[in-house]
Structure 1
């Protein structure tokens, strides 16, 4: 048996789980908030990690630590055992995820200080999309600019997309050809991925997590000239535009509500802004679904996951409504049924099967961390 501490270190919080493998039992889990802020509960990430370790049940005997790291750039395409060179590499791509990678590094440094004897593994959100072809990940920019600044589509939520499409392969009957899947990870941050035979073909997020679907506070896709227009006509600085697109746009900008539950409640009451926001959300979701159906040359399954994907029957229905002509038929009763287990929500006659599969990124990280350490020792 191997006990893995999975750490997701944010700028002001540390989430964790202790998972036993191969039983996959969660022995302990929790979160430390108000980390490193004035008047907070923990002055540093080290203090938060030390408190977590001190609070672990007596039956916990940790063997290794797996860290969620958001951005691996072009270098990190698989989980890696953390050493000084890896830490420098994560730091080098921090400009691509300034809100995430530095915080992830704080967690790594904290664990090193508190438990220096334990091996640590970095598992990257972007790694799953390292299989994208140049045609899929390249932007039409000058080559020298692209190469100097590392500009390309990287994709995010890879741990979730890889996990749920892997689970799907165990649920679907064997197929002669590689399984063609569109995976929707829907939460406050949302993305969609095209996957063939377990290998990522395309995804909606790009250089950063701003691109793609309409999200809680993020705009998703826009004409890039909007940035220049706002600078020129509205007199906004780069920082103000960045703040606008990441924190004040998306569903919040369209309706005044960033939480899909609040938005749905207002839509049910006939709020025109809420109804419009849902229309825009649905339009963008179908845009990507249609694009990925074309890129995959057909479709065998669609998976919904994430907080919204798992819990909002209405949003799942909106994403595929009117697509019966493409062989995509949702069963209303199956879709409305509540469960925390993987479940089929399409009709028996649907050519494309529709699934709700709860994601488990912590388990995914634990599995990959153990695989990585075992491989490094062999």
Structure 2
């Protein structure tokens, strides 16, 4: 078994990892930032080394070609024929894709029809599939879907309180996102605890620029904060999270905006950035929290998480495990402490020294009503395993 290349195309970046499929080890990984912008930055990490180069306005196609060129020039691979599969992280599979698939011509055409379910994500992901097909025409392409973990939510949690005909005929339901991450960290947490996943009631927090909460019961997803698209739920870096839909026509009227402009405002200009006025990055906010709006953004971020945890705690009739993951969840002990402090009413309690020092594992006290953990997510490893299953 050869090497698998995994790619995650975003609005101005492409993240990638190259795996040795047999032993599931990362050979190299990197990031292309500021695509179609001045000072595009290409970063590759391999064999303990890190190399960065700046370019002027790399396109998505340029980024792919630069990646393949660097893999060979740096001696990471001898020839592109060593790449046996390319895996793509795709946000929305809707009801059509409930598991990872090979992207045949028919499946790719179906995927093109799902752009409305993740308008800021799916079109770019489809575009990058097409670029990879052009650059590596003989290599099979696969899609692993963020929504697939949530396809069997209980119907009471999966659908909205709309006319049932709209739900049934138009596929309007809670699809959720970050499913690859939530699935991985719930399985990993159970493994670290030495307990069957099916025996645990769990709340998992994927906290990063995009953020979501999921409840798991009997080894399956039970509820999740994101909805029909990745816009709803928690306050995120630039996404508003939960908003009364009546705000949309109000903004259109008062700000003379089109529907598309309002959705761009909710997706790209709101959240931590919109509230603070300075940045969508929590690290920037914590460094400037003396500013009133910045502190307000932090408080709202924590508050929305607390609301969802409290709701899911009740839905599950108590929990066994609370898991922190994602860029903020894994790396920011200060935010973890602020969140758990608000959950003291539920009997949850952090061990401060463990919270500051542990990078993977338990961070709660023995007296805590549920075990609290940090589990670094590894969506790429989960994708490798799913692609291997398809190829066997």
TM-score greater than 0.5 by the shorter chain: yes
Tell me if structure 2 keeps the 8 A contact 1:33–1:41. Answer: no
Q: Does 1:80 align with 2:101?
A: yes
Per the alignment, in what secondary structure is the counterpart of residue 144 of structure 1? helix
Kindly state the Cα deviation for residue 138 of structure 1 after the two structures are TM-superposed: 0.7
Could you say what secondary structure the match of 1:162 adopts? helix
1:66 and 1:121 in contact (8 A); partners too: yes
Match of 1:58 in 2: 77
SS in structure 2 of the partner of residue 201 of structure 1: strand
Could you say which residue in structure 1 is the equivalent of 2:28? 28
In the alignment, the residues of structure 1 paired with residue 285 and residue 65 of structure 2 have an alpha-carbon distance, to the nearest angstrom, of 39
Which residue number corresponds to residue 270 of structure 2? 249
1:329 maps to which residue? 349
C-alpha distance in 1 between matches for 2:333 and 2:59: 41
Alpha-carbon distance, 1:335 to partner? 0.8
Corresponding residue number in structure 2 for 1:366: 384
State whether residues 34 and 40 of structure 1, in contact with CA within 8 Å, keep that contact through their aligned partners in structure 2: no
RMSD: 2.2
Contact 2:4–2:18 (Cα < 8 Å) also in 1? yes
Match of residue 163, structure 1, among 173, 184, 187: 184
1:261 deviation in Å? 1.0
Aligned-partner SS, 1:117: coil
Structure 2 residue matching 1:98: 3-state secondary structure: coil
Report the Cα offset of residue 176 of structure 1: 9.8
Q: How does 1:220-299 map to 2 (within 5 A)?
A: 220-256=241-277, 257-267=279-289, 270-299=290-319
1:159-198 residue pairs with structure 2 within 5 A? 159-174=180-195, 178-198=199-219
Q: What's the offset of the Cα at 1:223?
A: 1.5
**What do residues 131-177 of structure 1 show as CA deviations (whole Å, max 9, x unaligned)?**
21221111111233334433211100111111111111111132696
Distance 1:124 1:75 in 2: 11
CA deviation digits over 1:5-37, x for unaligned, max 9?
A: 111123443321111134222112223345567
Question: Is the contact between residue 174 and residue 228 of structure 2 (CA under 8 Å) also seen in structure 1?
Answer: yes
TM-score, length-normalised on structure 2?
Answer: 0.88
Q: Conserved in 2, the CA contact under 8 Å of 1:163 and 1:364?
A: yes
CA distance in 1, matches of 2:298, 2:59: 41
Structure 1 unmatched runs, 5+ = none
Match of 1:348 among 339, 354, 366: 366
Length-normalised TM-score, structure 1: 0.91
Task: Tell which has more relative contact order, 1 or 2 (C-alpha 8 A, sep 6+).
Answer: 1
Q: Kindly indicate whether the alpha-carbon contact (under 8 Å) linking 2:190 and 2:197 is maintained by their aligned counterparts in 1.
A: no
Query: 1:67 aligned to 2:109?
Result: no
Unpaired segments of 5 or more residues in structure 2?
Answer: 39-54
Q: Deviation per CA, 1:61-94, whole angstroms, max 9, x where unpaired?
A: 2221111111101110100111011101110101
**What is the CA distance between 1:41 and its match in structure 2?**
4.6
Q: Does 1:16 align with 2:16?
A: yes
Bigger shift: 10-19 or 127-136? 10-19
* Equivalences, count: 369
231-240 or 99-108, which deviates more = 231-240
Conserved 8 A contact 2:198-2:219:
no
- Per the TM alignment, residue 108 of structure 1 is displaced from its structure 2 partner at its CA by 1.5
